[in-house]
Structure 1
Amino acid sequence: MSTSFIEQVHYNRIPVKDLELSAHWYRDILGLPLLSLNEELAILKINDGPSLLILVPTPDETYAHFTINGTQAFSIAFTSQDIPGFHQHLTDHKVKVDDIQHNDGHAYFHFHDPNGNKFQVHW
């Protein structure tokens, strides 16, 4: 097969414990527009692109990341043109963030949402 039937990623689903708290955190701390919130899910938009984040409530101990040899590994990475500013913003809001790392002109860091989901931000 030379071409894919897949055009783009439309959305990622993220498990959360408290849907309303999480929806407002993603809106207020990450600055993502909250398009919809009901008891079943919250829909947030990422800028002007087609990508959405869907927050889904669950009582289970489950996360949007996985582990490799017992170490958490992110599955979703965001981009930001202002890595230091975003890092400081999250730090100011008491978000669990790792130090900024640099690798061949590539800067990145990891952070966790209030539910313990691990993400990466890079540029």
Structure 2
Amino acid sequence: MMPQAFLSGIDHVQLPVTDLEESIHWYGEIFGFQVIGHYGESAMLSVHKGPNLMLWQTKNYSPVRFNKDGELKPVLFFSSGDIDNLVKHLKEKSVAIASFDDGGFAKFLKFYDLNGNLIGVMQLAGKR
């Protein structure tokens, strides 16, 4: 017997930031995120599809990521239909790229946002 479906999806993901206005500008300039709500110390951003992104300015900042067998892993992964050009775009914007790998079934990109949060992007093979 299947449990009742109380959840309908993921609404938003939250990231800590050191400077909210600078981070809003960065996510807008780099990825095209638009502010859909500004709440003083936090802001909700939206991009084409998927869950929204909530940025929280915090004095007790620590970047979002975890360690698995000595490898840093991103907590957040975006999807892309043009990951190769995204890599070029990030390099042009001097974004710190941690890795870019072709896993066969998908390409995986890991980079650091301006706050040191490790972010991932993936593109499934054959998806554009």
TM-score (norm 2): 0.86
Higher strand proportion: 2
The number of residue pairs the alignment matches comes to 122
Deviations 1:32-59 (A, max 9, x none): 112233422111012144x210000111
Preserved CA contact (<8 Å) 2:109 2:121: yes
Structure 1 runs (4+) deviating above 4 angstroms are: none
Shifted more, 60-69 versus 81-90: the winner is: 60-69
Aligned-partner Cα distance in 1 for 2:14–2:99 = 26
Match of 1:23 in 2: 24
Aligned-partner Cα distance in 1 for 2:49–2:118 = 24
Match of 1:114 in 2: 114
Unaligned ranges ≥5, structure 2:
124-128
Match of 1:81 in 2: 81
Q: Superposition pairs for residues 3-22 of structure 1, below 5 Å? A: 3-22=4-23
Say which SS state the counterpart of residue 45 (structure 2) adopts.
strand
Aligned-partner Cα distance in 1 for 2:99–2:110 = 8
Unaligned ranges ≥5, structure 1:
none
Preserved CA contact (<8 Å) 1:23 1:37: no
Deviation of 1:98 (Å)? 2.9
Match of 1:57 in 2: 57
- Which amino acid letter does the alignment assign opposite residue 20 of structure 1? E
Aligned-partner Cα distance in 2 for 1:36–1:10 = 14
Deviation of 1:70 (Å)? 4.7
Deviations 1:96-123 (A, max 9, x none): 1134211123111101110000011111
Percent of pairs identical after alignment?
A: 29
- Change in CA separation of 1:69 and 1:58 when aligned onto 2, cut-off 3 Å: farther
Match of 1:68 in 2: 68
Deviations 1:8-39 (A, max 9, x none): 00001100000100011011111111223342
Say which SS state the counterpart of residue 77 (structure 1) adopts.
strand
**Could you say what the CA RMSD is over the residues aligned between the two structures, in angstroms?**
1.6
Aligned-partner Cα distance in 1 for 2:49–2:104 = 29
